[in-house]
Structure 1
Amino acid sequence: MSETKKYSLAEVKAHNDNNSSWVVINNNVYDVTPFLNEHPGGEEVLLEQAGRDASDPFEDVGHSSDARELMAKYKIGELVESERKQVKEKIPDWSSGNETATTDSTLKSWVIPIILAIIATIVYRFYFLS
């Protein structure tokens, strides 16, 4: 088994144009030069991040699992240990808000109709059965 090549941020920084474009994503180094013309967002998106740590912009876009699998093809190594950053695990948030908002919404969807039904029953009994 071959050992993974280690690169410093200074080495990555030297590859920042359309002739040689490297990016760091979650401590892995990728040579995205052959992917520039294929990137769905256009080559400008990759060139803007070339030679830098693009972890946050990459995660902010919300790339698909297919895009993440495709990345393996372009991986050329990893950052040296001394320059690594802690990788934040991204868990997709599929709801429109947090769990409290979901609970509040569910509560409102049951409580408000019940209260309106009770009020309607009281009004009906008071006006029509008296």
Structure 2
Amino acid sequence: MGSGGKVFTLAQVSEHNTPKDCWLVINGKVYDVTKFLEDHPGGDDVLVSATGKDATDDFEDVGHSDNARDMLKDFYVGEIDASTIPKSTTPKQPHYNQDKTSEFIVKLLQFLVPIAILGLAFGVHLYTKSS
């Protein structure tokens, strides 16, 4: 990976903002993640929604593993011209992602409800067997 690649402006990177052509800016580097969209554990819409801006905070907030960080090497296409990224005028605040929270609750329920049903069925089976 390393520097020395082609330098892109944010406007150039922003043109790649669809599921068929998706580029991201993370830590000053530009990545073409198009081929990874289907395999991304968080879904392709998360990546597509991070186009057209510096996605570093989005990437870091999720807490990606070292393996995920190593995978970026495969998608590297160049560097971003930092002068083309607008400076934030608002202080950074903790990010609360309602979609992720809802997704977690749904997954938790998908896990717990079948276990509860199985436990109830087993309990009924034991009760009827003992009667």
TM exceeds 0.5?
yes
Q: In 2, Cα distance between the equivalents of 1:27 and 1:40?
A: 23
* Deviation string, structure 1 residues 27-58 (Cα, Å, up to 9, x no partner): 10000100000101111111111232110010
* Structural mapping, 1:53-68, within 5 Å: 53-68=54-69
Query: Which residue of structure 2 lines up, in the alignment, with residue 116 of structure 1?
Result: none
Q: In 1, Cα distance between the equivalents of 2:16 and 2:38?
A: 17
Q: In 1, Cα distance between the equivalents of 2:80 and 2:57?
A: 16
**C-alpha deviation, 1:9, in angstroms:** 0.2
User: Partner of 2:22: helix, strand, or coil?
Assistant: strand
Which residue identity is paired with 1:26? N
Query: Which residue of structure 2 lines up, in the alignment, with residue 49 of structure 1?
Result: 50
1:3–1:18 CA distance, 2 compared to 1 (3 A) = same
Query: Which residue of structure 1 lines up, in the alignment, with residue 22 of structure 2?
Result: 21
Query: Which residue of structure 2 lines up, in the alignment, with residue 123 of structure 1?
Result: none
1:73 correspondence with 2:68: no
* Structural mapping, 1:1-130, within 5 Å: 3-83=4-84
Q: In 1, Cα distance between the equivalents of 2:17 and 2:64?
A: 22
Q: How many residues align?
A: 85
User: Partner of 1:10: helix, strand, or coil?
Assistant: helix
1:43–1:4 CA distance, 2 compared to 1 (3 A) = same
CA RMSD, 1 decimal: 2.1
Q: In 2, Cα distance between the equivalents of 1:57 and 1:33?
A: 17
User: Partner of 1:78: helix, strand, or coil?
Assistant: strand
* Contact in 2 for aligned 1:21/1:51 (Cα 8 Å): no
Moved more, 49-58 or 28-37: 49-58
Q: In 1, Cα distance between the equivalents of 2:60 and 2:8?
A: 22
**C-alpha deviation, 1:81, in angstroms:** 4.8
Larger Rg: 1
* Contact in 1 for aligned 2:4/2:78 (Cα 8 Å): no
Which residue identity is paired with 1:43? D
- Give the unaligned 5+ runs of structure 2: 87-131
